[in-house]
A and B are shown apart, each in its own frame.
Chain A
């Protein structure tokens, strides 16, 4: 055993947990969607729309999107920290990612609330 000294308290632990909690939400949603797709009768606009237009799936789909954007923020930030070593560039990219994800969240709400 290496006698390692842990620096600081819970560095990134919150993000680590959030990444996994959002992963669980998305995994459950994916299973629900797969089951719904399997049970779907004839294809076409009405059948497709009916998957998402009921209150339960509308809520679950929105929950999926919010989990996704949060999950992606943590994941992409980790990837940027691994490969982009220039502090200024990394900061710019992180801001761009957050801006895009906030925009996507609004967009997803708009898509679902119209159903």
Chain B
């Protein structure tokens, strides 16, 4: 099994700041970051969901909290992370089915992911936060 090691010397560039990450690369790292951040904030989100549903009084508490502009902006950011993960996730599912794997379509679909996820963030933010 050991003799499958790659023998060819390939150029390496691990000087991160000099690497220009193309859009599909940014999409990909944001997909991982969004998944991790949403996971870490699950207790906060579950708590907020619970407050918003338990009773009119707790709903008012949640409403007052989200009335704070800083909280609003953070939640808007989280909605965007979710929408990005959602749209990029669907793109991955399609790629897994070998849909759109050539370079042209892959670039185009990552643009679509950014566009759609930002649009959905604005719509949902307007509906539930403002």
A residues sitting closer than 8 Å to B (CB atoms) are 2-5, 7, 20, 23-24, 26-27, 30, 34, 37-38, 40, 43, 45, 48-49, 52, 72, 75-76, 79, 100, 104, 107-108, 111, 114-115
Contact = CB atoms under 8 A, between A and B. Distances in A.
A5 B1 contact: yes
Contacts, number: 63
B120 A48 contact: no
Interface stretch (B17-25, B69-77, B89-97, B105-113): B89-97
Chain B interface category by residue count: 20 to 34
A111 B4 contact: no
Contacts of B101: none
The main secondary structure of chain B at its interface with chain A is helix
19 contacts: A4-B4, A5-B4, A20-B93, A27-B90, A34-B124, A37-B124, A37-B127, A49-B59, A52-B53, A72-B39, A72-B42, A75-B35, A76-B35, A79-B32, A100-B42, A104-B42, A107-B50, A108-B46, A111-B54
Nearest to A79: B36
Contact of A37 (B4, B39, B43, B128): B128
A48 B49 contact: no
